[in-house]
Amino acid sequence: MTRTLRKKLFRDLKSNFVQFLSIFIMCFFAMFILQGFDATVEGYAVALDEYCLETDFSDIVTTSDGFNTDDLALIKSLPSVKTAELRASSVGKVRLSQEKKVEFNFINENNISRMHLYEGEPFEPGMNGIWLDRDFATAEKIGVGDILSLTCDNVEFSEPVRGIMDNPDHIYYIVDNTFDDVERGAYGYAFLDSGEYPGKKLVFDSVYVKLKDVKNQYHLTNEEKSLINRTAEELKKLLQKNNLSVTTKMKDAGYDAIVQDIKSNMTLERVFPVLFITIAALGIITTMTRIVMKQRTIIGTLKALGFSEGTVMLHYISYSVVVSLVGGILGAIAGWFTLGDLLSYFFTFYYIFPEVGMRVSMRVVLVLLFLVVLSGVTNYLSCRSLLTKRASEILRPAPPVVTGAGFLEKTFIWKHLDFVTKWNIRDINRNRLRTAAGILGITLTSSLTLTSFGANELLKGMEKWQFHQLSPSAYQIGFVPNTNLDTVYEYSKKYRGQMIQEKQATLSSRNGETIQLTATVVDEGNLFRFQDATGAFVKLPRHGIAVSRRAAESLKVGIGDEVSFANTDRKGRGSGKVELIYISPNPQGIAMSRSVYERMENEFTPSTVLTNMTVPASLATDKEEVVSVVSTERSIQAMRRKSSGTSEEVLYTMVIAIIVGIVVMYNLGVLSFVEKTREIATLKVLGFKTSGIRWILQQQNIFVTGLGTAIGLSLGLKMLMMLMSSLSVDDDYIYRISPMSYLLAFFLSFVLSLIVNSVLSSKVKDINMVEALKGVE
Amino acid sequence: MANELIRFENVGKTYITGSVTYEALHDVNLSIDEGELVVILGPSGAGKSTLLNLVGGLDGATKGKILFGDEDITTFNDTRLGKFRAVDVGIIFQFYNLVPTLTALENVSLMRDLGLDIMDPLEALDMVGLAAQKDKFPSQMSGGQQQRVSIARAIAKRPRLLLCDEPTGALDTNTGKEVLKLLRDQSSVHHRTVVMVTHNALFQEIADKVVTVKNGTVENITVNEHPKEPEELIW
């Protein structure tokens, strides 16, 4: 574009500031949200991939009561297996200023899921010493060379710290299953050579397997996934072991959790930008069509002066291209430093990586390019009809467009309508696109506002729901896996508690759906309750199985269908009819009474006891069978911390919704007002009062805003469900939005629009009738 | 004898809008010499502006030939027509048609953006007596000043043909005379062909040739042996 036309471009942008600001803001927020989510998603995806590639993260882990070298040889003999190695894990203690829990991993070699060493010496078979995880070492100020006093399997021993490391099996690390709260550095994990085991006989409880033809980690191909699954099935058949469990890479707790988080963030990364880009495109059409119409004479003159059609076309296309490009780039930068930083920060609560940072992905570049191209194409389509005409034709004034009220004008109602209504109906019909853009903008604002209010209510309600309604206990005592029933029963009796068994299980339905979720078995008591989909408290079925709502959705089952389960530790399996669909915030899966479970010839092995009596925290360190004592207060704090990230996202959504709403309303208001200036001046000349004219403008606005708000509010609940289910795949909520939230969302969109329109229509009194009616152009 | 610059041979122009056909011009035969000041007169709707649009390549004829020098511009495609307008034609509009977001100097400099070797824009403004107003936007200038900027814009590229569509139509008498003087000078001093469309019959007195258009065709062509100076006009 030429220099002078460039000047014209920037001055035109300035003189149509509000219209272009609206397009700018839509593009800004589209890229803001996209980049915010994408930077984190891409950062963690790359970190996961690099970390797993660097350390040769295992493809399959199989656990049982015990493996020996013969088992290892058997596994290695499988044609698809590249290598395998034994590992023994045990939760023990380290004596520091106070005792802390540490998971000891005894190994013969470390070629699969290798340690990532930060300092110290690399592991060599036969070496003494301990390799400790970085978070724990940092929290406890432990360094290489320190001698640690340890306890494992009731035997005390000491080891020098050989290295500070992290390990890909511990990307998401909870010391045992009774903890549901990741507290980085509060408990540790460590590696030692198997020769350093202080007890009598080391039992290897897991085998780590690496396959030949699996080269990728995060970007697993379908062939690689099916090879892993096939080999896992082969291993199940090959190894006839007690409590055998075979876990593929895809089902690994850490790997799966972060992959699911990445996926859910990617959903949000797509949905919101699509909405904003759509409104931006509508904004471009309405704005550019009007600017080109307004500059009809200038366009004709430029063509008459000899400017080619291409030059003139390029000049006008560049308006929206420049605005969307600048808006998109600035939005991406702002998204990176604010939303991206925030999301990244929340990821660090849960996931442990040697190095992780936000990254720019090709997705962002492609979407930015798409945005700019879409903006240019939309602009081209809006302007081409005028720009492609001959100079002489463009220089002639445009013939007036004759548009009535359509079919309405032919009905008997038309005759009974007053002047104001007729005027507005015709105006809406003449400016259908502007009206559509207005309705869409207000719909987005009201639905987003309602969604954010609803989400806020939901998160606040979760605490009450989970800890006061469903599980109103004061303490939860966690037990070492497979602690016998009599032992747990003693605690249950002492603390007047209720015994619960929670295990990972493979759930299947008759229609072939299979998922891995939690199978909960509940003993008699009133500290673990259930609610049906309406929120009413219900008892577990006396004969059948209860399925959580989200699990039922995944399994595609309903009341009366049959489901089967198989605990991953191979202790417990069965099937039964679904007799209840219950709602539960977490975990999702199936639940049944102890009697139903035992009727299936399973042994009840409770993992926790819930109680309302005070339980001393020292039980966890003093008693070998107790692994944790968690107070409800602590669980509430963990939940608050977990939901604080979502709350921040909700706050962002609300602020963006309000800004978008104000900008859309103001922009369309200005456009509409400018277009009507001559008509308003005519009405003033004819003697209409200012208040009467303002009412004409307000009436149309009430219709547009009212319709947009009504659609938005009706979509709000659906959007809330989509947002919350995307944010957390394992959680369920009672999706209810209070009348107060509806009222606030209504106020923010509808009333705000009336205010914006009132501000604009107040300019009616300032319209200079003589000036406004001068000349056609 | 002066060289012929433009020749119309049986030119016709018909507009078709939907089912309505309107013959704006028919059987126009006309010759305009180089350096001549030609006034095209006629009542509203006679076809004056259509004639001007055809000469300037702003529109295409539906019949006949329009020769500019040796070339028939009715055979030009849009690109060639655009180049023709850019290089050979300067246009002055009744309502000036300046770009409102550009200053006086920038409006003239716009011609340089066409890639042409134009005169210094400030010099062009100086020729119309507006060098001091170079940084003003159109909205800050009077109608006469805006028209002079429009003339500066047209002459800056030293076109062979200046087309003026009612150039004084929006101006008062004195300003109108100043503009006419500038246009007259373009013809008499700079030997540029000036074709002016007007409905004001008085202007025929300053013309070298007067073409009267009526009902879409040339009714009369008069050669004025002793054209008056614009200052001598009284209206």
pLDDT of residue B96: 87
pLDDT of residue A619: 86
Give the pLDDT mean for B176-200. Answer: 89
Q: Which helix (H) or strand (E) element contains residue A601?
A: none
pLDDT of residue A777: 38
Give the pLDDT mean for A657-665. Answer: 77
Query: Which residue stretches of chain B are H helix?
Result: 48-55, 78-88, 104-109, 121-127, 143-155, 173-188
Looking at the partner chain, which of A8, A308, A390 has a beta carbon nearest the beta carbon of B59? A390
Q: pLDDT tens for residues B19-68?
A: 888 899 999 999 999 999 999 999 888 899 899 999 998 888 999 999 99
Cα radius of gyration rounded to whole Å, chain A: 33
User: What domains can you pick out in chain B, each with its CATH number?
Assistant: 34-60+78-232 (3.40.50.300)
Looking at the partner chain, which of B58, B111, B114 has a beta carbon nearest the beta carbon of A390? B58
ipTM tops 0.90: no
pLDDT of residue B18: 77
pLDDT at B1 over 60: no
Give the pLDDT mean for A748-757. Answer: 83
Give the mutation candidate from B101, B140, B160 for the A interface (greatest A CB count, under 10 A): B101
For residues A499 and A523, the answer to whether their CB atoms sit within 8 Å is yes
Nearest residue of A to residue B50 by CA position? A392
For residues A380 and A313, the answer to whether their CB atoms sit within 8 Å is yes
- Across the interface, whether the CB atoms of B58 and A297 are under 8 A apart is answered no
- Across the interface, whether the CB atoms of A309 and B112 are under 8 A apart is answered no
Pick from B9-23, B25-39, B164-178: least confident: B164-178
The backbone torsions φ and ψ at residue B93, rounded to the nearest 5 degrees and listed phi first, read -100, 160
Taking CB atoms and an 8 Å cutoff, what residues of chain B touch A395?
A: 58, 93, 97
Task: Count Cβ–Cβ pairs < 8 Å, chain A vs chain B.
Answer: 79
pLDDT of residue A452: 83
- Across the interface, whether the CB atoms of B99 and A3 are under 8 A apart is answered no
Distance from CA of A276 to the nearest CA of B (A): 31
pLDDT at A186 over 90: no
Q: Strands across the sheet with B217-223, in order?
A: B89-92, B161-165, B193-198, B37-41, B209-214, B217-223
Hey, where are the domains in chain A? 1-56+257-399, 60-213, 431-436+444-470+633-777, 475-613
> Using 50, 70 and 90 to split pLDDT, how confident is the model at A474?
very high
- Across the interface, whether the CB atoms of A395 and B58 are under 8 A apart is answered yes
pLDDT of residue A355: 85
pLDDT of residue B213: 93
pLDDT of residue A69: 92
pLDDT at B175 over 70: yes
Give the pLDDT mean for A690-696. Answer: 84
The CA distance from A600 to B60, in Å, is: 92
Give the mutation candidate from B13, B48, B50, B97 for the A interface (greatest A CB count, under 10 A): B97
Taking CB atoms and an 8 Å cutoff, what residues of chain B touch A7?
A: 101-102, 106
Q: What is the mean pLDDT of chain A?
A: 86
- Across the interface, whether the CB atoms of A7 and B53 are under 8 A apart is answered no
Nearest residue of B to residue A776 by CA position? B95
Taking CB atoms and an 8 Å cutoff, what residues of chain A touch B89?
A: 306
Give the pLDDT mean for A134-146. Answer: 94
Interface of A with B (CB under 8 A): 2-5, 7-8, 11-12, 15, 297-298, 300-309, 390-393, 395, 777
For residues A296 and A394, the answer to whether their CB atoms sit within 8 Å is yes
pLDDT of residue A193: 96
Exposure of A237 in the CB half-sphere (CA atoms within 13 A): 6
> Using 50, 70 and 90 to split pLDDT, how confident is the model at A776?
very low
pLDDT of residue A595: 95
Q: pLDDT tens for residues A215-262?
A: 999 999 999 999 999 999 999 888 877 677 888 999 887 888 888 888
Q: pLDDT tens for residues B206-222?
A: 999 999 999 999 999 99
- Across the interface, whether the CB atoms of A4 and B100 are under 8 A apart is answered no
Residue in A588, A35, A52 with CA at minimum distance from that of residue A358: A35
Predicted model pTM? 0.75
pLDDT at A405 over 70: no
pLDDT at A274 over 90: no
